[in-house]
A and B are shown apart, each in its own frame.
Chain A
């Protein structure tokens, strides 16, 4: 899951980035509204975290322009001013949720996960498809309640596949959603990750959780449990 973070306060930006990365989320962090808007328009994101008081282009304007360009990923606004009038203005401009500074990191992470879930049609905080369950809060993946040990990129890939369980996802799309913007990408790596995931999730080769659709991509084939 790839996240756009626009926050001008350097300490807060680095803290949030670190914490999100710790949760195995892909984060692009920028300091001003113009750069944030550029990334938001160019790159596919799952959630954006936007501070309202930004240099160059205000948070409200960034959200308005993103929405005008048809970008519909959920947006969480951060604001130091907890006035309701500001919150309403932010939500009216197209944001989906707000968080008043200072906040607990757990709160931020819970809101981001909730927004991502909502956008992809999940109701519960733990994503469950058949015997496989993924909990974004502690990044635990289980198969019939047995914990499966995944590497960071394997987890990222599975998280995205499960969020969009039932949808066909191309290699490019998968690459874009698990790597940061400035990362060297090689879509062939996806094949390797998929292979490893299959081995780890389905050691006896009875479940076949991930389908390959030749020329189109991959699909998590297990039905969602709500």
Chain B
């Protein structure tokens, strides 16, 4: 639940911090390990070097005594308490020890066999910790008598520990510092990259409160598709709202004429038959107006958000229906469509558009209706032809004068075509009238595919 409520930037920040911490922690751990083991190795190597240094200067007399020079090359052997000590023992006796051991009693228990080395850690009574290398030596005098010795080199571990602690401290300081800086930089980067989302939210809020009509255009590429779609939706809504408003206003206004006519007739006429006739006439007109405006208001209109619909399927279904209704007319329809054509439009609008056109063709033909669908690159051309008498002049005007209010003269033909013309213009299409080869009308509709 809490995870779900986290904002995007907090999620990113949390994830990045966790990853960064883990990464830095693992780095520190492995660096520290590597340093420790290399320090230990170096230490042991140094002790061995001391062994060779001492052996190179040690001399043995015939009776097995050890003769060492006064000063050794390594000054630390001569400085008391320097932390570096050397001792040669034979059996349990100390044969020689470096000056640095002054005041220290080192009992060294290990006596490895000749040429063997043995590392150990020794803790002295004083609490000092030493790393000790015991090395077995055998001296053979000219009579072939053998003397066994152990050479011990010890170095105070404290210095090494100090070094390790120093390394760890600087390691943590550096890594921690870097981590902190990275986190701060990350936070800034996140804020900066998520800023467009924040801006979009503010933009949307402005639309909600009515301060703006659409989202601004300058969004990063990734958001642009979304904001453009929102804008399309907003425009679509806007135009639909306007269409509703216009239809409502048009309807109200256009109803007033037949109402006025009927009221006038009621007040002035005394002829009941005449009154009835007028009443029927005006009721028909009101009905036609309601149908027309209802249709106009419910037209969806063009929008790129609409899913593609199959023209072939819609026309096929309409033809099946009309064949049924006009069965007695024995109409022969011919429908030509290549592979199926899809256009982005509202299915209801297409049913309305094609239904009205096809019904007119069925109604006014003698017995032939031809439908021909021709897809172009960006548009689709639909031809609907019949072998009737063609469209009367006054109805032709309904096609040409777009958006005209049908409150003057309405009949079946005119109303259907007015609806057709409205839908075509809502989709920014074209409508043309030609003479058909069959003898009647050829209505050509060109609609954009998107």
Contacts and interface: CB of A to CB of B under 8 A. Distances in A.
Interface of A: 82-85, 87-88, 91-92, 96-98, 100, 102, 114, 118, 123
Nearest to A81: B294
Of residues B287, B291, B351, B356, which shows the largest number of chain A Cβ atoms within 10 Å of its Cβ? B351
Given A83-B352, A102-B287, A97 B325 contact: yes
A88 B347 CA distance: 12
Interface residues of B, number: 21
Given A92-B320, A92-B321, A102-B287, A83 B351 contact: yes
B356 A114 contact: no
A114 to B, nearest CB: 7
Given A83-B348, A84-B356, A88-B351, A98 B318 contact: no
Tell me the interface secondary structure of chain B in the complex.
helix
Contacts of A98: 325
A87 B347 CA distance: 14
Contacts of B320: 91-92
Contact of B352 (A84, A92, A96, A102): A84
B327 interface: yes
Contact of A87 (B283, B287, B291, B355): B355
B414 to A, nearest CB: 16
Contacts of A91: 320-321, 324-325
Given A83-B298, A87-B321, A96-B327, 13 more contacts: A82-B291, A82-B295, A83-B351, A84-B352, A84-B355, A84-B356, A85-B348, A88-B351, A91-B321, A91-B324, A96-B324, A102-B283, A114-B328
Most buried by B among A88, A97, A100: A88
A180 B294 CA distance: 39
A28 to B, nearest CB: 25
Contacts, number: 45
B318 A88 contact: yes
A100 B295 CA distance: 14
A199 B294 CA distance: 56
Contacts of B291: 82, 100
A73 B124 CA distance: 117
Contacts of B356: 84
Contacts of B321: 87-88, 91-92
Contacts of A84: 318, 348, 351-352, 354-356
Given A82-B291, A88-B318, A102-B287, A96 B355 contact: no
B170 to A, nearest CB: 78
B195 interface: no
Kindly list the 3 A-B residue pairs having the minimum CB-CB distance in the complex, ordered from nearest. Answer: A84-B355, A84-B351, A91-B321
Interface in B271-289: 283, 287
Contacts of A96: 324-325, 327
B355 A123 contact: no
20 contacts: A82-B291, A82-B294, A83-B348, A83-B351, A84-B352, A84-B356, A87-B321, A88-B317, A88-B351, A88-B355, A91-B325, A92-B320, A92-B321, A96-B324, A96-B327, A97-B325, A100-B291, A102-B283, A114-B328, A118-B327
B351 A85 contact: yes
A83 B298 CA distance: 10
Contacts of A100: 291
Contacts of B318: 84, 88
